[in-house]
Structure 1
Amino acid sequence: MVIRTLSQNPWETSTRSALVRISTHSLSISTSGPPRHPGSPVVLFFTGGGAPSALYLRLQRLLSVRHRVYFHDRAGYGDSELGPGDTGIHLGTMLTAQTAARELGELLDVIGVAPPYILLSHSYGAICARAFAGLFDPMQPSVAGMVLAESATELMFELFQPSVPPPAFTAIARGVDIEAVTHERERSRLTDQELAYVKAQLKKSARGSALENPRLSAKRLLREQQFARQVLGNAPLSVICADFTKDFRLIFEAGVRMGNGTRAEREECTRFFEQAQMFNDELRAGQLRLSGCNRFRKVLEEGHSLPITQPEILVEEVQWVVDHLKRRVPGH
């Protein structure tokens, strides 16, 4: 009979949320879920661009039923502070995924939460998660598994220039009641109090979001050639693919009905939608090359906000990763 002890670290056994000081500034992190057994993997979540961890309250709640999870805010997001050099005056001082990865590594060292980790991410958070994975020796099982939900990739940033969505989208979306067409707040199933908290955290996060440079981050990640090197080895990897332009199209159609946008602006958006539809599978499925043990889950009835509106799908994929890991351990 195997007797499994519990960790003595309160950051691995209790529900906690705090601003934690690293070498230069303080970052916000929260944890919840069952107490950790030494050596067992924990789940680290990486939020999307412009999205504080508060936006994923229901995902954290659902994951915590069975898994020890950690949700953090990058510098300038939510309650997390900006570092002393994060001015954004020069390109070199703008926030990158690589900086965020190093700071998370330092944060986890401070609170004493060591590998192995299961990395869970959404949108631009996938660039950050993969930069974090790149901090570890690929020969060591520090990253036990990964779930990439509606993830940005280095190839996506090369394909869609200069932005996602294109600049013309702003003119067409002007005056559109976004909630009325997407129902994202309603589908998030958060309480009024939680929604008020999310709104306040989103406002705080604008500073960090404005300083982040996703394209520079993606270019730096591309140099690592993670696909070619299969950096996760055979760690279980799930890639979730939704219809990432779904909400953009709904907003576009509402804007067109209002008479917004010139003919050229409408055509620019239409080309973007067509291109996104054509390459959606290829952009997502390319990530499967990160690991020899993978699966591709398509949820095309959902849009890019899937972790907010249908977090149950991410919970299922994390469980798939955990189940794979258990089957590899003698006695399970």
Structure 2
Amino acid sequence: MALPALPPNGRLIDISTHKLALYTHGPEPSSPDETVILFVSGVASDALNWQAVVGQLSPSLRSYTYDRSGYRNSESSPLAPTAEHIALELSLLIEEASISHPLILVGHSWAGVLLHEFIALKGTAQIAGLVLVDANHETAPLVVDVNDPILWSIAAGVDVYSAWGLETNHKLTPEEWNEFIAGESTEKYRLIAHKEDVEQYAPSFETLRKKELGKKQPLLGDKPVFVIGGIRSRDWNGLYQAGIAKGNGTEEERKYVRDLIAGIDEKMAKLMKEFSKLSTKSELVFATESGHFVQMTQPEVVVDGVQWVLDNQPA
């Protein structure tokens, strides 16, 4: 199947095994020391979910988004989409695209794991700071099951983006939203999303924990880390209410999910606080009007995080 036409700011980067689509936003840096921003998407996501953030960044900043292997304009990889392989391909993308400037890495959801694998592979020399957007901590599955079978049984048949409020509260343009939805309706998307979400997502946490990066804190020294937590109960309550409206679940199952929702935000907040250990200079905020997809519903919070990292560079 032919790939869609690349937008004017896009180019295909050959990483030797295949090509990845990289999108450039903002002007060429004025010096080799100028910091640039690179956005890394979560599981089953491509570059489009960062559009609202990119649109609100200072026009003087250079930033990059990209489609991981198998998504949208990128070719499929010969490697399985493990977190380790994704980190390797990210490092090759940075190298082959000649992105040599200091990097602020901005990662959503599973990118919490992906960026840690990138650090395990490449170290932190090029990293100027991190912005973690409701990111997955390596210990998350030990604390909460985001794929809880009873929760998703209650939510059977529910339009997830509608139930989460994402459909009405996102800050994309109508054209961007339509492109986002259209991309997720393709067979190409379904194939790579299944490989990531069903086959590789869960094992990636244990693989990362075995590297014991948590014993090497602060991994980034005094390089700034901005941590953003979403309010997961918003998403789960939306799923619950939509499922109940369909008549899903026994009363016992419904009570179980209500109890699950009642405790989720406290558990997630503790996980977000764990990320503060990454640096001696960190900040934690909660996007109180958002669920998991903060970058789409409160992009200004992510933009503020990028600016905070820029403003708090080591002397």
TM-score, normalised via structure 1 length: 0.84
In the alignment, what sits opposite 1:23? 16
For residue 224 of structure 1, report the CA deviation from its aligned partner: 2.6
Structure 2: runs of 5 or more not aligned: 1-7
Change in Cα spacing, 1:61 to 1:165, as seen in structure 2 (3 Å) is same
Between the aligned partners of 2:162 and 2:283, the Cα distance in structure 1 is 34
Choose which of 143, 148, 169 in structure 1 pairs with 2:127.
143
The alpha-carbon deviation at position 180 of structure 1 amounts to: 4.8
178 and 102 in structure 1: CA distance in 2 versus 1, 3 angstrom threshold:
closer
Encode CA deviations 1:255-282: one digit per residue, 9 max, x unaligned. Answer: 2133211234324423432342331221
Whether 2:121 is the aligned partner of 1:127: answer no
1:90 aligns with none
User: Counterpart of 1:83 in 2: which secondary structure?
Assistant: coil
Please state how far the C-alpha of 1:188 moved relative to its aligned partner: 1.9
1:97 pairs with one of 75, 83, 88: 83
Alignment match, 2:64: 70
Distance 2:179 2:114 in 1: 25
Structure with greater Cα Rg? 1
1:246 counterpart = 2:234? yes
Q: Structure 1 residues 278-287 or 73-82, which shifts more?
A: 73-82
1:123–1:150 contact (8 Å) kept in structure 2: yes
TM-score (ref. length: structure 2):
0.88
Equivalence for 1:285: 273
CA distance in 1, matches of 2:9, 2:143: 41
**Separation of aligned partners in 2, 1:27 and 1:189:** 26
- How many pairs are equivalent? 301
What is the SS of the residue equivalent to 1:153?
coil
Cα pair distance change 1:102/1:295, threshold 3 Å: same
1:195 Cα shift?
Answer: 2.0
Return the alpha-carbon distance in structure 2 between the equivalents of residues 190 and 261 of structure 1.
Answer: 34
Stretch moving more, 15-24 or 150-159: 15-24
Q: How does 1:151-162 map to 2 (within 5 A)?
A: 151-161=135-145
1-structure distance, mates of 2:64, 2:158: 35
The structural deviation recorded for 1:214 is 1.9
Q: CA separation in 2, counterparts of 1:68 and 1:227?
A: 31
Q: Percent of counterpart pairs with the same letter?
A: 29
Partner residue, 2:50: 56
Structure 1 counterpart of 2:204, which letter? S
Match of 1:216 in 2: 203
Query: What displacement does 1:254 show?
Result: 2.5
The one-letter amino acid of 1:198's match is F
* Deviation of the 1:178 alpha carbon: 4.5
Query: CA-atom RMSD, angstroms?
Result: 2.0
CA contact (8 A) 1:168 1:269 kept: yes
Runs of at least 5 residues in structure 1 that lack an aligned partner in the other structure: 1-14, 87-94
Aligned to 2:156: 174
